[in-house]
Structure 1
Amino acid sequence: MKVSIEKQSDGSYIAYNTTGDKVQLIGTGDSVKEVKEDFFNSLDEVLQSYNEIGDDIPEFLNEEIEFRFDITSLFEYYSMFNVSALARYLGINDSLMRQYRSGAAQISDKQLEKIEAGIHRLGSELAALRLV
């Protein structure tokens, strides 16, 4: 199941499933951690309801959850990322990356793909890393 996590204009966060047309799950909170916990709570409640009434559980509710973050939520949840250092690694202007993080600048699909590909590349490099 694909779940989007986004920062809202009031500063809170929302998580919602983007797959599965029978059930809409929502989680809210003041942090990404809280919103994920609330989302899982919503999922548990829906699963319990299906079990209680004896209805078949839609297949997508048993799928592994794939969280998708907007840029602001990404940097809030993975706070160990230094925004400027990551921007330099990705070949993006530091100031522009900070504007993306704060929501002051709109991010194009092309730039979003560049950031995602760079983060995946970094993850691969870290996964292959060995310490001596």
Structure 2
Amino acid sequence: MKVEAIVERTDNGYYSIACDAQIGNFCLGGYGNSVDEAKADMAAIVKEAQEEYVKEHGSLPKNLQEIKIEYKYDLQSFFNYFEWINISKFAKFAGINESKMRQYKIGAAYAGEKTKEKILVAIQKMSADLAAVSL
């Protein structure tokens, strides 16, 4: 089963993962102090839901045996999860003001659609550059 999950930083500084998918009576999601913690919580919920489904129905249908989660991030969550990205250098790479980029990262300002698109294009270019590396 393919699941689209939204990763966001909440107003209280925690990270949440939300999606419309469920297994049996379990709604899937996660919560934590970091994106890693929220993803681990989501994985635990998926496992628990699968186990409960088996207890109630005797077996797990094939479509519920392998859950593939596609994560979509807000900017704060993205830069929390990929904390190894130097925000100042990324801003230069993306052609965005460094100070503004730092504000986007911590949630002090919110990027408009054009800026989000510039950030996404930079992430995709960075990804392609990394994928082409040979050592």
Smaller-chain TM-score range?
Answer: 0.7 to 0.9
- Residues 49-94 of structure 1, C-alpha deviations (whole Å, 9 max, x = no match): 1111117659477441111111111111111101110011011111
Q: Would the aligned equivalents of 1:5 and 1:70 in 2 still touch at CA under 8 Å? A: yes
Which deviates the most, 47-56 or 23-32? 47-56
Q: 1:84 aligns with which of 78, 82, 88?
A: 88
Runs of 4+ aligned structure 1 residues displaced above 6 Å come to none
Segments of structure 2 that go 5 or more residues without pairing to the other structure are: none
Q: Which has the higher strand share?
A: 2
Q: 2:51 aligns with which of 48, 51, 62?
A: 48
TM-score normalised by L of structure 2: 0.85
Query: Which residue type is aligned with residue 4 of structure 1?
Result: I
TM-score normalised by L of structure 1: 0.86
Segments of structure 1 that go 5 or more residues without pairing to the other structure are: none
Match of 2:15 in 1: 13
Secondary structure (helix, strand or coil) at the match of 2:84 reads coil
Q: 1:74 aligns with which of 51, 74, 78?
A: 78
Secondary structure (helix, strand or coil) at the match of 2:101 reads helix
Secondary structure (helix, strand or coil) at the match of 1:110 reads helix
Tell me the matched-pair count. Answer: 131
Query: Which residue type is aligned with residue 127 of structure 2?
Result: G
Identity %: 32
CA distance, structure 1, for counterparts of residue 117 and residue 23 of structure 2: 26
Query: Which residue type is aligned with residue 111 of structure 1?
Result: T
CA distance, structure 2, for counterparts of residue 114 and residue 58 of structure 1: 40
Query: Which residue type is aligned with residue 42 of structure 1?
Result: I
Please tell me the root mean square deviation across aligned C-alpha atoms, in Å: 2.3
Query: Which residue type is aligned with residue 69 of structure 2?
Result: I
Which deviates the most, 21-30 or 87-96? 21-30
Q: 2:27 aligns with which of 4, 24, 49?
A: 24
